[in-house]
């Protein structure tokens, strides 16, 4: 315990004066249409932050001593000012990791990235085989991602990350993911599939079963070098805790800045229920982080509710807000994937009307405003992957 006796983990639930790191989605534009997209991306928002506004956010993050920003989207490399912004951030001592589908990570851009300091690259795949991956991310997306990885390797970029959202279909491929990462000297990252964005519609079908999650937990315990973004802390109720803070960081140590400057508790709760404010307001990002009603309430002790009598509540903290919210479960109750099955009971008991449907968000739509079917195939531009 620190000198004053409060455990660090408890202190973090009370929030900090500045995030430790945060997610920043640069654009809702995307050239893929993955079935589980947490941000329902596809169409660029007309109110997207300008390059100048984006640089101003970097200035604020630097002033607040935010060490690291996780840039994503949509597809962040679709922003015309992508390299300018990343360069500006690292010059101001805000380290950058950006997450990409790889379709725009050409050999030349890989070389450019290799020449930059303090930039981490994370390439997303959701299958160890093209068939598994493309059924979620679209035909051609696996090949594009592998080409991006090959480009990074050829450019001597160094260690990059390969990030996978664990699903019912790819959880049987963990060793293969490991092998792919090893073949590049890359770091493997596995993260939890939350029922967010377009994931609302696909979660029932694709989230891992209880048995699969137990297997995953034990696999992760044996591989402390695999990153998880602390996204499986709900599994820590199974035994020894996994690496990480093992707590929900939303609004406490992390948050999301979205492409139009909206600040949400985390990238998995893009919903007005979890909207804290907008960076374009007086006081910018700092005022939202420090003074918004939402974040203040998240930094209060949370009610265990139905979980209060469970001996494992301290380990799992009742799980993930996003998982509960988007499956229509109360926030003060079990996670839908509670390892003891309490979540399944709650889902069965839940009023069907409580389940939020998928919002269109920024998904691509046809001329009637109907979301087009996902996934959509990657259309390679001539020479785009040269």
Partner 1 sequence: MLLSEDKEVQDAEPVSEDEVDELLVEEVSIDGMCGVY
Partner 2 sequence: MSVTDERVEAPAPDFDPDRAWRVHPQVALRDESFGALAYHYGTRRLLFLKSRPLVDLVSALDRFESATAAIEALIPENEQAQYTRALARLAKSEVIDAR
Q: Which token pair is 154?
A: 């050829």
Q: What is the DSSP string of 251-273?
A: TTTB-EE-TTSEEESSTT--SGG
In terms of Cβ atoms closer than 10 Å to its own Cβ (0-12, 13-18, 19+), residue 382 is exposed
The minimum distance between CB 382 and partner 2, in angstroms, equals 30
In the complex, least distance from residue 149 CB atom to partner 1, rounded to whole angstroms: 19
CA distance 369 to 294: 32
Q: Is 67 in the site for partner 2 (CB under 8 A)?
A: yes
Size of the site for partner 1 (CB under 8 A): 37
Judged by beta carbon distances under 5 to 8 A according to partner kind, the member of partner 1, partner 2, none in contact with residue 255 is: partner 1
Q: How far is the CB of 231 from partner 1 (least distance, A)?
A: 5
Contact residue for partner 1 among 31, 41, 99, 376 (CB under 8 A): 99
Span between the terminal Cα atoms of the chain, in Å: 54
Phi-psi region of 229 (alpha: psi -120 to 50; beta: other; left: phi over 0): left
Judged by CB under 8 A, does residue 268 bind partner 1? yes
- Kindly tell me which of 16 and 210 has the beta carbon lying closer to partner 2: 16
Of 267, 275, 271, the residue nearest 249 (C-alpha): 267
Question: Are 250 and 276 contacting, i.e. CB atoms less than 8 angstroms apart?
Answer: no
3-class SS of residue 359: coil
Minimum Å distance from CB 201 to partner 1?
20
- Choose between 225 and 282: whose C-beta lies nearer to partner 2: 225
The mark string for 161-190 relative to partner 2 (x by CB under 8 A, - otherwise) is ------------------------x-----
Q: Is 189 strand, coil or helix?
A: strand
Nearer to partner 2, 152 or 206 (CB): 152
Site for partner 1 contains 229 (CB under 8 A):
yes
The residues with which 123 forms a beta bridge, in sequence order, are: 100, 162
| Beta strand ranges found along 62-127 (DSSP E) | 68-72, 95-100, 119-124
Selected from 67, 218, 345, 373, the binder of partner 1 by CB under 8 A is 67
Nearer to partner 2, 68 or 313 (CB): 68
| Contact between 1 and partner 1 per CB under 8 A | yes
> Of residues 72-91, which lie at the interface with partner 1 (CB under 8 A)?
72
Q: In angstroms, rounded to a whole number, what is the distance separating the alpha carbons of residues 386 and 255?
A: 36
Minimum Å gap between C-beta 325 and partner 2 is 28
């Amino acid at each position: 315990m620190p000198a004053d006796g409060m455990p660090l983990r408890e202190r973090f639930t009370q929030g900090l004066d500045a995030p430790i790191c945060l997610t920043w989605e640069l654009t809702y534009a995307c050239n893929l249409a993955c079935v589980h997209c947490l941000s329902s991306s596809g169409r660029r928002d007309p109110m997207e932050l300008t390059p100048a506004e984006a640089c101003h956010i970097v200035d604020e993050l630097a002033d607040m001593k935010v060490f690291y920003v996780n840039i994503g989207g949509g597809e962040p490399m679709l922003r015309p000012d992508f390299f300018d912004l990343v360069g500006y951030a690292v010059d101001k001592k805000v380290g950058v990791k950006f997450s990409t589908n790889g379709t725009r990570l050409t050999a030349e851009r890989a070389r450019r990235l290799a020449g930059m300091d303090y930039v981490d690259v994370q390439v997303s795949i959701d299958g160890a085989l093209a068939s598994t991956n493309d059924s979620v991310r679209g035909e051609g997306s696996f090949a594009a991602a592998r080409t991006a990885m090959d480009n990074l390797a050829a450019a001597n970029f160094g260690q990059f990350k390969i990030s996978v959202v664990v699903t019912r279909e790819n959880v049987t491929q963990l060793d293969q993911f490991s092998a792919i990462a090893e073949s590049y000297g890359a770091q493997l990252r596995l993260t939890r599939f939350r029922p967010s964005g377009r994931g609302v519609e696909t979660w029932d079908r694709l989230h891992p079963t209880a048995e699969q999650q137990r297997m995953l937990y034990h696999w992760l315990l044996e591989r402390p070098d695999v990153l998880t973004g602390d996204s499986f802390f709900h599994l820590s109720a199974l035994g020894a805790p996994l690496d990480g803070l093992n707590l929900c960081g939303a609004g406490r140590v992390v948050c999301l800045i979205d492409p139009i400057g909206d600040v949400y508790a985390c990238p998995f709760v893009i919903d007005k229920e979890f909207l804290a404010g907008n960076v374009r307001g007086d006081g910018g990002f700092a005022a939202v982080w420090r003074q918004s009603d939402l974040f203040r309430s998240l930094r209060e002790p949370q009610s265990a509710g139905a979980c209060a009598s469970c001996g494992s509540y301290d380990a799992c903290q009742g799980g993930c807000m996003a998982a509960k919210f988007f499956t229509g479960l109360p926030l003060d109750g079990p996670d839908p994937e509670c390892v003891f099955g309490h979540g399944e009971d709650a889902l069965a008991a839940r009023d069907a009307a409580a389940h939020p449907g998928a919002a269109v968000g920024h998904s691509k739509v046809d001329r009637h405003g109907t979301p087009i079917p996902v996934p959509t195939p990657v259309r390679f531009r001539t020479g785009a992957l040269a």
